[in-house]
């Protein structure tokens, strides 16, 4: 099975980004991918000068036109899609940072709201965003059981382990990784670590340009980097092998060797 990741530079124009996204879905399908994964902030770039109210003004529900258009494109191209939106919330002038899983029939099968907000290294996402409240059970797809995370979630290894214990063999982490001192090194290290420690593929599509460092990656269960897109905007497709997951987990049985009599992250 091939999966594709999209590295894109989202503008502040939601409709422009939607049009570009539909084109990327068709391109990924044309490369033979069964699943295409978009980065965080796919809907729009939110500059520091944009107020929380202005951002809330472009947010939609999961049933809104942004997701509906992507669902139609998924169905037309017979491809699964992991997309991201700013989702309306009940908190005034705050939105969820949300990832949605769309199957090749165009149906939304999973909705994940980012748990860990990036209030670190000079940023304060909680000024505009509201955190989600739960980890979403991995979704069954033709590419495997997909566990969803978003960006800063990668810095919290408990989350990827819980998703793996619940059945994930492909972790997808849409990201907008802010550039800065040691940031690319952190990014590469953690994407690879989450793959190695769980014996899972990790697909990490990312934003490029604006304030972001790019470097969208796909890493295999043994830590082999299959894709690193550098600073290139576009689509990259790669073959993933579910048999390799089984082989790696047998030869490096990290999940089996856990001391669950001492600690338990299965909740």
Q: pLDDT tens for residues 197-221?
A: 999 999 999 999 999 999 999 999 9
CATH of the domain at 220: 3.60.110.10
Residue span of the structural domain in which 172 resides: 2-251
Where residue 61 falls among pLDDT bands split at 50, 70, 90?
Answer: very high
Give dist(CA 29, CA 80) in Å, integer: 9
Is residue 267 in a domain?
no
Is residue 258 in a domain?
no
Q: What is the dihedral angle through the alpha carbons of 98, 169, 202, 16, rounded to the nearest 10 degrees?
A: -40
Burial class for 105, CB neighbours closer than 10 Å (0-12, 13-18, 19+): exposed
Active-site positions read 40, 114, 151
pTM over 0.75: yes
Is residue 39 in a domain?
yes
Is residue 263 in a domain?
no
Is residue 266 in a domain?
no
Is residue 16 in a domain?
yes
Is residue 57 in a domain?
yes
CA angle 227, 98, 59 (to 5 degrees): 125
CA angle 114, 224, 82 (to 5 degrees): 30
Q: pLDDT tens for residues 110-125?
A: 999 999 999 999 999 9
Q: Could you give the number of structural domains in the chain?
A: 1
Is residue 211 in a domain?
yes
């Amino acid at each position: 099975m091939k999966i594709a990741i999209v590295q894109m530079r989202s503008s502040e124009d939601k409709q422009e980004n939607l049009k570009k996204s539909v084109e990327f879905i068709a391109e990924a399908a044309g490369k033979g991918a069964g699943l295409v994964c978009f980065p965080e902030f796919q809907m729009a770039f939110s500059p520091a000068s944009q107020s929380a109210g202005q951002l809330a003004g472009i947010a939609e529900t999961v049933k809104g036109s942004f997701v509906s258009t992507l669902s139609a494109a998924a169905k037309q191209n017979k491809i699964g899609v992991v997309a991201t939106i700013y989702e309306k919330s009940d908190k005034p002038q705050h939105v969820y940072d949300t990832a949605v899983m769309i199957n090749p029939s165009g149906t939304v099968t999973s909705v994940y709201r980012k748990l860990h907000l990036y209030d670190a290294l000079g940023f304060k996402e909680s000024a505009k965003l509201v955190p989600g409240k739960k980890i979403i059970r991995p979704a069954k797809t033709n590419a495997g059981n997909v566990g969803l995370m978003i960006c800063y979630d990668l810095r919290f290894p408990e989350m990827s382990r819980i998703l793996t214990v619940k059945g994930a063999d492909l972790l997808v982490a849409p990201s907008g990784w802010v550039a800065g001192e040691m940031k690319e090194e952190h990014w590469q290290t953690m994407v690879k670590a989450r793959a190695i420690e769980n014996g899972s593929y990790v697909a990490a599509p990312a934003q490029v340009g604006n304030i972001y460092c790019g470097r969208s990656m796909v890493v295999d269960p043994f830590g082999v980097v299959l894709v690193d897109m550098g600073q290139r905007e576009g689509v990259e497709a790669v073959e993933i092998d579910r048999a390799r997951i089984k082989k790696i987990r047998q030869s490096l049985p990290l999940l089996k060797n856990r001391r669950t009599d001492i600690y338990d992250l299965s909740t």
